[in-house]
Amino acid sequence: MREMEETQTYSVLQNVTYLYKKMWREGPKHIISFVLRAIADMLLPLLTSATIALIISIVSGNQSWNQAQLIFYALLALTAVCMIISETMSNYENSGGNMFRVSNMMGLSRKLLYLPFQKLEQPENISKLQKAGEPTQNNNGAFQKIFTVSYHFLRDSLGLLIYGYLIGQLHPLIIAVITIFSLLMYGYSLGTNRLSESIRRQQAPLSKKTKYLVDHTGDFKAVKDMRLFHMESWFEDEFQRIYAARFSLMSQLVKRQFKGTLLSSLFGMIRDALAYWLLINQVIDGSLSVASFSFYIGIIASISQWTNGLFIDLADFRHLSSEVQDYRDFMELDLVQSTGDRKTDDLSLPIDIEFRQVCYRYPNADRDTIHDLNLKITAGEKVGLVGVNGAGKTTIIMMLCGLYQPTSGEILINGIPQQEFDQDSYLDLFSAVFQDYFELPITIEETIQQAKTKYSLSYEEAVEQAGMAEILAKLPLGGKTPLVKRVHPKAVDLSGGQKQRLQLARALYKQSPVLILDEPTAALDPIAENEIYLAYNAISQNKTSLFISHRLSSTRFCDRIVYLENGSIYEEGSHQELLAKKGKYADMYQVQSQYYQEEWEGKVNDSITTA
């Protein structure tokens, strides 16, 4: 039975450090950019206040121009340098943050590509994937916002230290008031961030539904049903319902943020009134010059900004940390399956397969899908797996291919336990064609050649044997014809039979020792299906083959047919032997053959009537 992977919880500091390490590995310039910008923007208010104070001192006659002009020009030059640095680094921050976010989005995609299939299907991992993607989706996600928050934090920290020292020399009461108000705003910001995090989690399923609706309104396959069955109103209603729910959630956050703005403004008015009162009194009693008054007024406004900002930054780091935790929860899922390092190169062909007391139970299921399965498939044998839906046919195939790991029991390949083989080498043993066909936006030739292994035929041989040569001859670009019209304007939409031929060509090209067909022709009519299965039968010579089909007539050519029920073998034998037993296989075959006979007779009668 599979075990749940423990999720490690990290502190805010650990998650933020994790981001900085990734930024540094990608390029130190990422960190250097926001450090330079923070220093420049922290100095600008100080330089501006000093310049204004110097001008007032000169105008009031307290200082001569000749004595002050060097300082004046130095202040202007430093201000210009800081402004250039700030603007340049701000532009880089936008582009660098976007590149960093996209880089981690690609890292998430790579993890997804190599995550064991069995883990990818688990509901808890699907949820982890959904949460992990959110920090990389837009510029408000952790991987881009970390640039802005880090810049603010460094600017505010340096500003608080330097400006606080200067203000402390003037009057400690101002520092005390600013600190108290900032702590109150910090507490309010924590509550705002908690609400934001709660809303983010509530919006996750709504975002998933929105993506589904957007994807399917532009899906060519869905358009026909939408038009014919007037589904447009349903889509519109769903859009309205989902967006109303999202708007309701966002309005809660907007209202709280608005209240925070009002509270901050109130605190600012009280702070400024106190500062003005203290400074004006010192000017009146002569202990403070007008120039100094101007200088301190400027830095008091700035220190309040730094102090308020610092506590907001700390709250923002906590929010970013929760997003990074979600990302790491998925990225730290173990990629390694319990496989060995044995290669399949020295295996004798064709392959011998044995399921020995194999059980498989899906996560959270109350009973086994496959129970105590004992099945021996001899080298070169063609075996058909049949049965009603849910009998366990596809699950058996998934275990054989190594995509699922048995709950108990073992699968032997030429007498060797499956777990002893290297995974990549093991997968080379199988050419599989599944019912669900996935097209990549690449050419037909590239689609076939995706399957290259050490066993591969030439491309030309695969195309010829699969009956694709005639199809390609009718296409202007031949094998260079791209697929998926949504991506390529010159792409083609293949018919059901042509898609099966393409999959057949890919299976032929791979030329693996084991051929697996998991109901690949379910969407075809019986005649077209029969033609495809005859083609598969022809290429299955000297291979160990497994065929799954609901239509029992398609598996008549198999050496042995295994009828499954409730995850166990109910009957097995050749087609004729099972018919002679007059069991469930025979009953199912009789029902299907009667249906096809009636369908055929109906077509004949229709043609006679028309004539």
Helix (H) or strand (E) holding 435: none
List all residues 6 or more positions away from 556 whose beta carbon is below 8 Å from its beta carbon.
575
Report the pLDDT value the prediction gives residue 42, as an integer from 0 to 100: 93
> Distance (Å, rounded) from C-alpha 130 to C-alpha 203?
11
Q: What integer best gives the mean pLDDT of the chain?
A: 83
* Predicted confidence (pLDDT) at residue 220 exceeds the cutoff of 90: no
Residue 533 sits at φ, ψ, to 5 deg, of -65, -35
Segment among 70-79, 110-119, 137-146, 417-426 with least mean pLDDT: 110-119
What are the backbone dihedrals phi and psi of residue 41, each rounded to the nearest 5 degrees, phi first? -70, -25
> Is residue 480 scored above 50 in pLDDT?
yes
**Residue pLDDT, tens place only, 439-451:** 888 899 998 888 7
Whether this prediction's pTM lies above 0.75 is answered by no
Residue 600 clears pLDDT 60, i.e. is over it: no
pLDDT tops 60 at residue 603: no
pLDDT category of residue 437 using cuts at 50, 70 and 90 = confident
Whole-number pLDDT of residue 484? 85
* pLDDT value at residue 118: 78
**Location of structure tokens 């501006």:** 48
Q: What is the pLDDT of residues 142-151, one digit of tens each?
A: 999 999 999 9
End-to-end CA distance of the chain: 64
pLDDT digits (tens, 9 = 90+) for 38-71: 999 999 999 998 999 889 888 887 778 888 889 9
For the ranges 12-26, 74-88, 452-466, the lowest mean pLDDT is seen at 452-466
> Residue 186 corresponds to which amino acid?
Y
Instruction: Flag the least confident range among 178-182, 219-223, 505-509.
Output: 219-223
pLDDT score of 526: 65
Produce one character per residue of 218-257: b if its CB has 16 or more CB atoms within 10 Å, e if not: eeeeeeeeeeeeeeeeeeeeeeeebeeebeebeeeeeeee
What was the pLDDT predicted at 249? 86
pLDDT at 169: 74
Mean pLDDT of 539-565: 82
Dihedral, 414, 417, 418, 424 alpha carbons, nearest 10: -80
Count of CB atoms situated within 10 Å of the CB of 9: 10
pLDDT at 602: 46
605 vs 240, more confident = 240
